[in-house]
Copies of this chain bind each other. A is one copy, B any other.
Amino acid sequence: MAQNIKTLLERFARRDRLALARLITLVENRAAQVASVMEEIYAATGRAFIVGVTGAPGAGKSTLVNLLIAKYRAQNKIVAVLAIDPSSPFSGGAVLGDRVRMTDHYRDPGVYIRSLSTRGHHGGLSRAAREIVKLLDAFGHDVIIIETVGVGQTELSVMDLADTTVVVTVPEGGDGVQVMKAGLNEIADLFVVNKADRDGADRIKAELELSVHLRPGDGWRPPVLMTQAANDIGVDALVAAIGRHAEYMRTQRSPARERERRTREFIEVLTSELEERATRALGNGARGAERVLGAVREGSLNPYSAARRVIEDRAALSELIEAGGSEPAGE
């Protein structure tokens, strides 16, 4: 392992926030050292409680998250927020100033806030999010809040990381239907109807309760809570409900589920590592892997035949893995 990474990990172990920030940046940039960093910190993970907060834009998620931070801080918990943000194509930053509102907690050393842009990950976003959550967990955060903006597939996949998923809605035309169209009701452990003083709050509550009622099985039935985050109404009840779900989850844990979770994670890590190596091999001008990549580039072999060849001819697969073992710049 490179000396600078070793030093970073030592500082990370001493709870140096700058080292945490640097390691997160390595993950964001898909540096070749990420896998070894993860190996190093893995044993320290598994202690944080992870809350996902999602829902359509404009539902007041950021205000709600801001309050959740305050409630958990009042319980003396160390809190981290990972905000998954679509970002401006021009500035690279968030288009709207949602994050700004969280600056209530900016000076609190017990709160760590970080954004992760959805850009430029090409399907690797959930891996990056997973690894950042592991870093936040190993660093010693008690609660990690993952907030996503939007109702797409990204949100669904990132919410896989959460122990408890809160889906936030508002009493507005068709918001309940939106939630169902996006499949968010399937992943919800708790529903929140925020801005519950507005017209239609009871109707959306009834819609959501119906969708819960229609759910197959007899496990956890997601409650529907009414909040007015802007006035701190209903948020203590939300924190209590999150606690009840966490307790329920503890009773559901089983060795079989743990085994499944671990093997799924292994497959994800393995295949994205292979993908990154193949991409790096191309960045290196495909040196050392000309046999396969050359034929693909020139179009003499279609991508499917080439993939079959690599899978059947392990020497070709080895070439590709070796060629992508280091950074293009040779770092």
Binding site for B on A (CB under 8 A): 35-36, 38-39, 42-43, 57-58, 86-90, 95-96, 118-119, 121-123, 125-126, 149-155, 157, 174, 177-178, 180-183, 185-186, 214-215, 258-259, 262-263, 265-275, 277-279, 282, 286, 293, 296-299, 302-308, 310-311, 314, 317-318, 321
Contact = CB atoms under 8 A, between A and B. Distances in A.
A88 B181 CA distance: 6
B267 A279 contact: yes
Contacts of A185: 89
Contacts of A96: 177, 181
A77 B15 CA distance: 64
Contacts of A118: 153, 183
A154 B121 CA distance: 12
Nearest to A134: B304
A302 B43 contact: yes
A209 to B, nearest CB: 15
Contact of A304 (B35, B89, B151): B35
Contacts of A182: 86, 150
Given A57-B178, A311-B321, 14 more contacts: A35-B307, A39-B305, A90-B214, A96-B177, A125-B153, A262-B297, A266-B296, A266-B306, A266-B307, A269-B304, A270-B310, A273-B308, A314-B317, A317-B317
Residue among A35, A181, A310 with the most chain B CB within 10 A? A181
A150 B152 contact: yes
A40 to B, nearest CB: 9
Nearest to A34: B304
A43 B258 CA distance: 44
Given A180-B88, A310-B270, A311-B321, A297 B155 contact: no
Closest CB pairs A-B (n = 3): A152-B152, A153-B154, A266-B303
Looking at chain A's contact residues, the main secondary structure is helix
A299 B262 contact: yes
B273 A274 contact: no
A306 B266 CA distance: 7
Contacts of A302: 39, 42-43
Given A154-B154, A180-B95, A181-B57, A259 B89 contact: no
22 contacts: A35-B307, A39-B305, A58-B174, A89-B183, A89-B186, A95-B181, A123-B123, A153-B153, A263-B286, A263-B297, A266-B293, A266-B303, A269-B303, A269-B306, A270-B278, A270-B306, A271-B272, A274-B274, A311-B321, A314-B314, A314-B317, A314-B318
B181 A149 contact: yes
A84 to B, nearest CB: 10
A108 B154 CA distance: 36
Contacts of A178: 57
Contacts of A310: 270
Contacts of A317: 314, 317
Given A183-B119, A269-B303, A317-B317, A296 B149 contact: no
Contacts of A215: 89
A134 B330 CA distance: 37
A1 to B, nearest CB: 12
